[in-house]
Amino acid sequence: MNNWYLLAAIPVFGLLVLVHEFGHFITAKWAGIRVEEFGLGFPPCIVGLRQRDEGGWEVIWLGGRRNEEDMYDSRKQTPFSGTSGGVSTPGAPTSNHTIYSLNLIPIGGFVRMPGENGDINDEDGNYDPQSFAAKSAGKRLIVLVAGVTMNVLLAMILFTFAFGFGEPKLLPQIGKVVPNSPAAIAGIQPGDTIVAANNQPVNFFIDLQSVVNTELQADKNQHATVPVALQIRRSGSKELISTTVNVREHPPAGQGPMGIEASGKVVFDSIPLWQAPLRGVQYTFQMTSDFLKAIGQMFTGALPFQVAGPVGIVRITGEVAQSVPSEGWWPILSLTAVLSLNLAIINILPFPALDGGRVVLVLIEVLRGGKKLKPEVEGMINFAGMLMLLTLMVVITFFDVKNLLP
């Protein structure tokens, strides 16, 4: 793989994070919360922009102070313990104008607002009226789930465009037949085109695979082979040939149930533009359901525990980006949509420091009749959760790097 394609991960990660944090940002503004900073990437800060009270904009380079009165210093903040990655720091400016920052580490982002851990504003125990902590439980919940909601909406939009451009699919033309395989015994030859399987039309190679898999799953007696009736068209002939292939329940490694390989010819299966949004929404719900089932099966042991960290995702993104010239926009659009759904599902899990964990804390407050947890307790819960997440990330990254080594 050309390593330059690995750079495709930067706009992919950037889009996912930007959309997620924009959800928190726009709902915080709606709720009347003062957003001190909207950051793309993790500090240290490269450059920040903020509107001046007297008009115009000021530029903050490398997280430094613009002047003596400006108490902002992004180098003193940590983006790992706030509502969506940011945290308000002592001495931060009370200006209602948000700092829009670009930061050095390009794999995250944050929205920094006061009161994210239930912090008290003054010695008398009064909240800053524009802080996150001062808002009602309902408004805080909306802000917390907004990022996840935006990622789901992004997935719907990306799948819509993907279906509009067309999904690359293999034609049902045979490229290779393994000697002495069920297909070879049935007389199938390279260059043959499968027209129908068990009286079902075959338009793409995946249609043939679907029929074969359905027949194998329906075989409750677990026979060694299952018959599948095919109609084929031989190259240069218009006549159809009927034959039966006894597909194998347990084929040798790398051969498949029939012992054939597709020719590799690809066409783009697109749908009318007016149908694409509906298909995109349906596919988003289908993929979400599949993800949740897979997570449940991994925890029960039905599936092996397989996850990819930033390194693994960068590698996958690079491989997919390299396929765009031959397979069109479907691979990269659908991968970005899948990653957006993954980000949404992971963030909404009821784990400390994640959006879902903070939702749980707000719900506990509601069940306690509006009595908030002490800021120190809430901060420690989120800090402990973040330490566990970072530890898990280090372990996953270790195995990602290990898998890259020869």
Question: What are residue 173's DSSP bridge partners?
Answer: 193
Q: Decide if 250 contacts 209 (C-beta within 8 A).
A: no
Model confidence at 335, in pLDDT bands (50, 70, 90)? very high
* Lowest model confidence (mean pLDDT) among 60-69, 113-122, 147-156, 265-274: 60-69
Residue 7 CA to residue 240 CA, distance in Å, equals 49
The tens digit of pLDDT for each residue in 343-399 reads 999 899 888 888 999 999 999 989 988 888 787 788 788 888 888 888 888 888 887
pLDDT band at 223 (very low <50, low <70, confident <90, very high): confident
pLDDT at 313 over 90: no
Band (pLDDT 50/70/90 cuts) for residue 124 is low
Looking at residues 319-335, what average pLDDT do you find?
86
Mean pLDDT, to the nearest integer, of 235-239?
84
**Quick one: pLDDT band at residue 86, thresholds 50, 70, 90?**
very low
Which is more confident, 82 or 287?
287
pLDDT tops 50 at residue 66: no
Task: Evaluate whether 14 touches 105 at the Cβ level (below 8 Å).
Answer: no
Handedness of CA 118, 121, 125, 129 (dihedral sign): negative
Asked if residues 155 and 341 have their Cβ atoms less than 8 Å apart, the reply is yes
pTM assigned to the model? 0.78
Is CATH 2.30.42.10 the right assignment for the domain spanning 168-269?
Answer: yes
DSSP 19: H
How far CA 261 is from CA of 6, 172, 230, 258, 352, in Å, comes to 30, 10, 16, 9, 48
How many whole angstroms separate alpha carbon 71 and alpha carbon 94? 10
